[in-house]
Every structure is written in C-alpha cells, then in structure tokens.
Structure 1
Amino acid sequence: MKYRTTGILAALCMITGIFALSQIETDNPDVRVHQHMQAVPSECGCDGSQLCTHLPLVVIETGGREIPGAMVGDIPQWSTLKDETDQADVAARKLPGAERVQENESAQIQEDNYEGKKYTTTEEGSDMLSVHVSIMDDPDKKHHPDDDPDVESTALIRIRGNTSRRFDKKNYLLRFTDQDGQYQEEEVMGMDAHYEWALHGPYLDKSLIRNYLWYNIAGEIMDYAPNVRFCEVILDGTYIGVYLMTETITNGVDSRLNISEPVENTTETGYLLRLDRYTEDQLRNLDNFTAYTFKNTDQVEIRYPRSGSLTPKMQRAIEQEFSDFEKALYSFDYDTDDYGYWHNIDTGSFVDYWILNEFTSNTDAGRYSTYLYKDIGGRYKMVIWDFNSACDNYQAEETSPYTFSMQDDLWYQMLMRDEDFTERIIDRYRKLRKTWLSDEYLEQYIDETLEYLGDAIDRNFSVWDYTFELPLLRPESRNIRSHEEAVAQLKEYIRLRGQWLDENIETIQQYSHASKNKRYNH
C-alpha cells in the first residue's frame, strides 16, 4: 500500500510541475526553439578530410582584408601577469587570431574621444568591411565547408563588444546586404528574418554555454529575449571555433521587439533605449532626468529608430517622455495612485529582469548594456543581454553568491523602496524556482546542451586550449584549467546561489521597509 501511495504522490508532483511549466508557457505564447533539443543528424558518408559538423556552419571570406573594429595599441588580455618575463613569454607565442594592432602612420584609425580608445577601420576609413558569407544549415544533415549554402550573401562585418575586443577570439557584428549594398533580411538557422546579427564567440566563458543557457531561459520567462543558435565558424579558410549566432536587440517586421515603426509626419514611434558607456552621437544621446541631475553618470541612448528614421523632433519627444517617467519614479509620489511608477512600466518585466540578473549575479546588468523598450501607448519593458560575466565569471574580481547587488542600480534603487514591488519579486522568484530556475531543470539543461554540442567542444579547444594557461580572471586562483572544470564551476555556482536566495529572498523587504525610506513616506 505504501508503494502505491508513494507512486500516487510522485505522479501528483509530476503533474503539478508540468502544470506550473505550462502556466508560464501560457504567459509567453511565443514558442521558444531550444536548439539542443533538436535531433542530431546521423553519421554522413564523408571521408573525414574536412570539417564535418552537425552544427550550422558559417564561412566568412574577407578577400584577405582585415576586419575593422580592433583596438589599437590595446593592452594584452594576459596583462594581469605580474612577472614581466612571464608576460613576454606568453605574448611571444603564435596565438591564433591574436595579432595586436599597433598604431602607426599607415593605420586607419577611428577614435572614441570620450574614452580615448582607438579602433581600426578599413583602408577607406569605414568601420565595416564588405565580405562574403555562406551558411550551411540543413537540420537533417551534417555540414562541410564545400556544401551548397542554405544562405549565401554579401554582408558588412566589424568586431564588436567592449572588454571582449581585447580577447583573441573576436565577436562580430554582421549586417546582410544585397548587390547594391542595401540591407537585406535573411532567415538564419531557423530564426526570423533580419539583416543584423551578432556572432558571439565564447572565450572568457570556458563552459561555452552561459549566453545560450540564460537567453533561452529568459525567453521562456519574459516577453522577449534574443534567440540564439550554436554554430561553427571558418574565417578565410581558418577554423576559429564554436560561436553563437545571436539576434541583436532591435525591432523587426513581425520579429524581435515587434514594436511600432515611426508614424510618418509625427513624432510617434516605438523605441528602444540602452544604458551604457558614453558615446558622442548627439542625435541618439538623451539628456534625460537622471543624466542632468547626475543620478546617473552613464549614457542613455536611442537604439531604435535607426538613424535614417530618427529625427531631432522625435529624439526630443522620446527624451521628454522618458524624463517624465524618471521624474515620477524619483518623486515623493512614486508609489501613489496618481503618479505611481506602474503607470509607466510593465512591472512584471522589471521584476523578471531583476530575478534573472540577481540569480546569475550578472555584474553589468542595470549598469551597462541595459536595454528597455516602449511601444506607442505602451509601458517600458526590460530586455536581458550578455551573461558572459555571470555566475562568477567577471574578470576583475570574484562575485559572491551570498549577496544582493541590484538594489542600488538606476531605476531599481527607487523600485525597491516599494513594498508591492519587493513582494512581487519574492512571489515570482518562488514560482520560478519550481520551474525554469529549479536546480534540477537547470542542471539537466546544461547536461543536455553539452551532449548536443558533442565533438564541437573538442574542436573549439583544439584552437583555444592555450587560454586555459592565461590568467584572465582575478585573483589568479579563479582561473579555469579545463572545460570540465568550467562546467563544474557553473553548476556549483548556480546551486549555491539558488540555495542562498531560497533562504534569504525575503530579506529584500529591508529595502522597502518604512524605517529605511522615511523621507519617502506619506
């Protein structure tokens, strides 16, 4: 009898779990494609003389020209070595893709006047280079460099990123073009057609899967998160490893953010904003409330509409609307019926953003590469981006799993003062820990993803294995010495972080307690 009872209880638990997952899926009607859940094609009959991969294959041909966007005179990634002899020894190696660009009279340079950084351009002075791109992506067979491509196009390319530009394995921005050089939308690896894509090369993340894991988890929880697909890349005949083809955060026709395009002869438009380091594009930069009151020293800029559609009047209208939101948020009336922040933001979106980035200890979230968007007549929503440094993978210092960090970030420093907001975080967190953020689900997700990648992991580290010897993280004791160690570190951090949050999530009520917020009390 007791075994029968146990079986019934187990079945009920399983049904409850399935029901909980289905409820979240109902909240987000878009069907998320998880690449690793696809069947791997059976063995092909090739002779093994060339690359044979079950992953999509991207072949980029530059015609022998350097891809622009590299930092000029950059400090090497291994500069954390204390011993100058060790630095010279490592720098003298023949490292794939590690050529440093030195400033000289013949170099074409683009300078960032604010941060003093300099980047290479093409010989013509352009920040992007026209290249030929072939993509092999038949899900029913394996791929080789000389296969007939499923996508073949010209494209503009440059090196992208901030800190990651220092790494030997570069990240790239791709914009597909037609024969006339105009942007051309392409459906890539089963993702909706668009002309702009990012090729992310996991480098600091030795597990290779942080962005894939958390983008897909976020895509199940939030209205939108960038879609991603693993692929392997060949650049000018040289294999350069495993990459992640990634949707950039922007608008698209029935895709991506799916917000309204600018309305002709008006200032009305859906728009996307990004909080990041300062740029000098005065048409895109906002002089918003938290900027001119010095509550924020970074820059909020318009990322959509793009330059061809964004007018000065539209920029001022966006600036005013966003400042009105910030003024209301930072006022004494931020939590009243008439002026409450919930009139301006999709509270659930801000709650989910907080949970995902706190759960992963994502150091840049709320500071850099922080995106929010708004449709005409809608409320502001958040979008996640870049988990490369998450789960204690931040270069400069260790990230403890035993603390909170986002309570002092822009916008959240006010939202966390409201008891209703902190209660929503607690309730939502408890629900997600039973489903998408449970230890069991995440560990299984990691294992299945790595099983899907298979031999591609070994191929990647046949090129980049030397990076296990570089002191990329500080202190040096944090540096990972193998892919297996990287996976174990990721799993252990998730386990410890979840355990600590389970025990301490209610303590975020301290940030909204009346004793802490007396000057905001009514």
Structure 2
Amino acid sequence: MKNLQKRIFKIAMIAFALGVILVGCFWNSPEEDSTFLPLDDSEYPYAELPRLVIETENFKQIRDKETKIPAHLQIYGKDSPESEVLELKIKGHGNSSFMMTKYSLKIKFAEKQSLFGMPKNKEWILISNFRDKTHLRNFITLQLAQTLGDYAPRMAFVEVFLNRKYMGLYLLTESVKVSKDRVNIAKNDSSFLIEKTTEAEKKNNPYFTSSLNYQFRVRFPEDATIEILDNIKNQVNKFESILKNSKSNLNTVLDLENFVHYYTIQEFAKNIDGAFGRSTFIHKELGNVFKLGPIWDFDLAYGLSNKSKSSPYDWYVNRYGWYKYLFKNQQFKNAVKKFWDENHQFFLAMNDSIDVMVPQIHKAVLNDENRWPILERDDSWPHVDYHTSYESAVDSLKDWIIKREKWVSGEI
C-alpha cells in the first residue's frame, strides 16, 4: 500500500511539474513555443473585446512613421488564443496622433487576413483615440457615413498589448487604400487617390501644389512617376478652374451627392482636419468625376477643438478650401439644404449608436483609464475637456450633438 501511495504521489508531482512547465511556456517563454504569444492580463482583465497581442522583433521600439518593424500578432479571446501567430510589419501612424503618449499604429500582414468579419487585406490601422475621452467620435462618424450609403472604413474595437505591455482600447479599422473592398477604382495610371496635406507633411512623398495653392499627397498610384504626377496635377487644376466659376454645372466635374454627404458630415462635426486641412481624401478614375472620401479622422471634432471652434453653433467648414467656392454655387447650396432636410435624423441618431456602444466598450474603457488616467486632464495638448467620469464625457458628446442638430436645422 505504501509503495502504491508513493507511486501515486510521484505521478501527481510529475503531473504538477509538467503543468508548471506548460504554463511557463504559455505565459513567459514564447521563444520556446512559437504557438503562443504571452499575455499577462492580471492588471487589465478581459473586457469582453478581442485582444491583439503584438511583439516586435527583439522588442524593438516604434519611434517613427517610416520604419517598418518585423513583428508577430495573435488574437486572444477570454481564456485562449483565437488565431495563429501571424507575421506582420508595424510602424507608427497618423500626424499629431503619433506624437501622443498612446499612439496610433499601422500594421501590414505578410499574408492577407480577414479580421472580425471584414474583407481580407494586408493593411490595417489601430487608432488610439487618445484625445477622445469617449473613444466614440471616429466610430459614430464612420458608421454614419456607412448608413448614408458611402464607403467608410469598417472597424472593430479591440484592446492592444504591445511588447508585453497594455496599450489600451483601440479602434481597428481598414486603412485608406485603393482596393476592391475599399476605395474601389480601377488600378491604372489614369486613376488616382490623393490626400490633402500640408507643407510640413509633404516630405518623402509624391506631392504637388495645385493652382489654388493647396498641397496634395499622391496615395495611388504608389511611387508615381513625374509624368503621372503631372497628369494628376493637370486634372486637379482643371477641376479647380471650373470650381471657381460659380455658374458651373457641377455635375460635369464632381459627384454631387458624394460631395454633399462628405461636406455635411464634416460641417456637422465641426471637424478641424475636415476643413480642408489634412486627412481629406479625393479620388477619380479615367472618364469619371471627382469624388471625396472616404471619411477619416474625427478626433478633433464634436467640440474637441480649441475653445473658439468647440461650440455647437455657427458654420465652420464652409469657409475653407474647395468648400468656399462650392458655396458660391447655388446648385451646391440647394443640394446641401435638400439633403439635410431629408436626412438630418440620421445625424441625431448618432446618439442612439452611442447608447448601444457604451455598454460594449465600458469595461475596456475602465482598463484604458487605469493605464492612461486622462478624464480629468484638460491642462495641456491634446486634452481640452474635463470630466469627472466616463459617463460625463459621453453625456457631453450627446448634448453637443443634440444642440448642433437643432442649430443646423434652424439655420440651413
């Protein structure tokens, strides 16, 4: 009997030791087992959202928007991985957003991946939403554009662990690029996707300055030749010459419905970047007209700009860029008024989307606030609003939307 007990005890101890070894491989030694990337969520527990665990090669730090660093990514559910370990390259992303403590990221997989039901692609963006204490401004705006029938990047909320540190709650989105499931235009030298940029941002990119002295970065074709660049510039200059004529029939040069949708979303949100500053995308293909979009970058919108532009009252975007010429054209003004009269309820319904999403991300928001305690910070850039609770931040956004919809409806 004693020998049997000894054997049972010995087997139990061996099993226990093996368990420790296995757990050790799972949590602490991915070098010994490439099946898993480690995840320590003891401080930031599962929040009912997917978790992206990312490790760069040799734990190299991400220091700029140009250097592509080899990395691996694995998607975790509550208790275990829900994907294989995937190869990718990662770098910083965004203009001002990469300069923040919690910065945005761009990832490019070695092979096309379908993430959370979205169409397969290699390239994706992780938006930090660091200055937006609700985390919802980008989400509700992209969703609004989709509701209106426009293409806007698909998205999903996730939590990110980078190099074994918790980075916070992110919005994973499709990147803006020419693709069948994204900006769907023909891939040839006569089609193009350009982005309104600034003098400071044009370095190291194919760019040109238009006849109205606006700077544009060429996003497609990639590595555009001098000839392609001149062709795009000539098309934009011709467009601007027609735009300056307030009597022009706009249907000959632009998709009127598209321009109206895009402008109205930017104006409603009082988006600083949307006032023909940065992150304004324009695309066109041979034989077709100019189109704006997709909608992008709303973390300086809905009252989060500086004090003079944060009010839910007054017009803003229509004084800038191409819009100031469009508003000298009665055809465009009539189209904007008609669109608003028929669709303003969709703008107000963003508050319904907020009510739906808050319970879904609330636990992750608590994790994020634990990592980045910013709710009560308003003393320095990028934070301009003060809230004693997440609920207060959400209520402030909803109140702004209600006031903005009422004011626009009364003034348009």
- The answer to whether residue 334 in structure 2 is matched with residue 399 in structure 1 is no
CA shift in 2, pair 1:311/1:227, >3 Å: same
Decide which of 260, 278, 294 is 1:368's aligned counterpart: 278
SS at 1:251 equivalent: coil
CA distance in structure 1 between the partners assigned to 2:376 and 2:73 by the alignment: 31
Decide which of 73, 79, 89 is 1:156's aligned counterpart: 89
- The answer to whether residue 405 in structure 2 is matched with residue 498 in structure 1 is yes
> Any idea what the Cα deviations from partners look like across 1:429-462, whole Å, max 9, x if unmatched?
111123x223xx2222111101122322211211
> Any idea what the Cα deviations from partners look like across 1:160-194, whole Å, max 9, x if unmatched?
222223321111111112xxxxxx32212211111
- Equivalent residue for 1:259? 185
Decide which of 184, 192, 216 is 1:300's aligned counterpart: 216
CA distance in structure 1 between the partners assigned to 2:186 and 2:103 by the alignment: 33
Report the alpha carbon displacement of residue 374 of structure 1 after superposing the two structures with TM.
1.0
- The answer to whether residue 362 in structure 2 is matched with residue 454 in structure 1 is yes
- The answer to whether residue 315 in structure 2 is matched with residue 315 in structure 1 is no
Please say if residues 396 and 473 of structure 1, whose CA atoms lie closer than 8 Å, have aligned partners that are also in contact.
no
- Equivalent residue for 2:122? 195
Decide which of 140, 148, 167 is 1:221's aligned counterpart: 148
CA distance in structure 2 between the partners assigned to 1:217 and 1:367 by the alignment: 21
- Equivalent residue for 2:60? 65
- Equivalent residue for 2:194? 273
CA distance in structure 2 between the partners assigned to 1:335 and 1:342 by the alignment: 12
Report the alpha carbon displacement of residue 398 of structure 1 after superposing the two structures with TM.
4.6
Please show how residues 321-332 of structure 1 align to structure 2 within 5 Å: 321-330=235-244, 332=245
CA shift in 2, pair 1:474/1:241, >3 Å: closer
Identity, in percent, stands at 25
CA shift in 2, pair 1:378/1:172, >3 Å: same
CA shift in 2, pair 1:189/1:66, >3 Å: same
Report the alpha carbon displacement of residue 51 of structure 1 after superposing the two structures with TM.
3.7
CA shift in 2, pair 1:175/1:409, >3 Å: same
CA shift in 2, pair 1:466/1:486, >3 Å: closer
Report the alpha carbon displacement of residue 213 of structure 1 after superposing the two structures with TM.
0.9
CA distance in structure 1 between the partners assigned to 2:404 and 2:375 by the alignment: 27
SS at 1:256 equivalent: coil
Report the alpha carbon displacement of residue 469 of structure 1 after superposing the two structures with TM.
3.4
Decide which of 11, 27, 46 is 1:52's aligned counterpart: 46
- What is the TM-score with the length of structure 1 in the denominator? 0.66
CA distance in structure 2 between the partners assigned to 1:128 and 1:239 by the alignment: 21
CA distance in structure 2 between the partners assigned to 1:470 and 1:443 by the alignment: 24
- The answer to whether residue 277 in structure 2 is matched with residue 343 in structure 1 is no
SS at 1:489 equivalent: helix
Please say if residues 202 and 217 of structure 2, whose CA atoms lie closer than 8 Å, have aligned partners that are also in contact.
no
Q: Counterpart amino acid of 1:423?
A: N
- The answer to whether residue 291 in structure 2 is matched with residue 381 in structure 1 is yes
CA shift in 2, pair 1:475/1:131, >3 Å: closer
Q: Structure 2: state its 5+ residue gaps.
A: 1-40
Please say if residues 374 and 381 of structure 1, whose CA atoms lie closer than 8 Å, have aligned partners that are also in contact.
yes
- The answer to whether residue 268 in structure 2 is matched with residue 359 in structure 1 is yes
- Equivalent residue for 1:487? 394
> Any idea what the Cα deviations from partners look like across 1:34-65, whole Å, max 9, x if unmatched?
xxxxxxxxxxxxxx968434212111102321
Report the alpha carbon displacement of residue 392 of structure 1 after superposing the two structures with TM.
0.6
Please say if residues 171 and 200 of structure 1, whose CA atoms lie closer than 8 Å, have aligned partners that are also in contact.
yes
Q: Counterpart amino acid of 2:187?
A: E
Give the paired residue count.
367
CA distance in structure 1 between the partners assigned to 2:202 and 2:263 by the alignment: 29
CA shift in 2, pair 1:394/1:316, >3 Å: same
SS at 1:433 equivalent: helix
Report the alpha carbon displacement of residue 397 of structure 1 after superposing the two structures with TM.
4.9
Q: Counterpart amino acid of 1:348?
A: E
RMSD: 2.2
CA distance in structure 1 between the partners assigned to 2:371 and 2:203 by the alignment: 38
Please say if residues 144 and 350 of structure 2, whose CA atoms lie closer than 8 Å, have aligned partners that are also in contact.
no
- Equivalent residue for 1:176? 109
Please show how residues 422-437 of structure 1 align to structure 2 within 5 Å: 422-434=333-345, 436-437=346-347
Q: Counterpart amino acid of 2:356?
A: E
CA shift in 2, pair 1:131/1:155, >3 Å: same
- The answer to whether residue 321 in structure 2 is matched with residue 410 in structure 1 is yes
Report the alpha carbon displacement of residue 211 of structure 1 after superposing the two structures with TM.
0.6
Q: Counterpart amino acid of 2:247?
A: D
> Any idea what the Cα deviations from partners look like across 1:67-125, whole Å, max 9, x if unmatched?
121xxxxxxxxxxxxxxxxxxxxxxxxxxxxxxxxxxxxxxxxxxxxxxxxx8xxxxxx
CA distance in structure 2 between the partners assigned to 1:300 and 1:165 by the alignment: 21
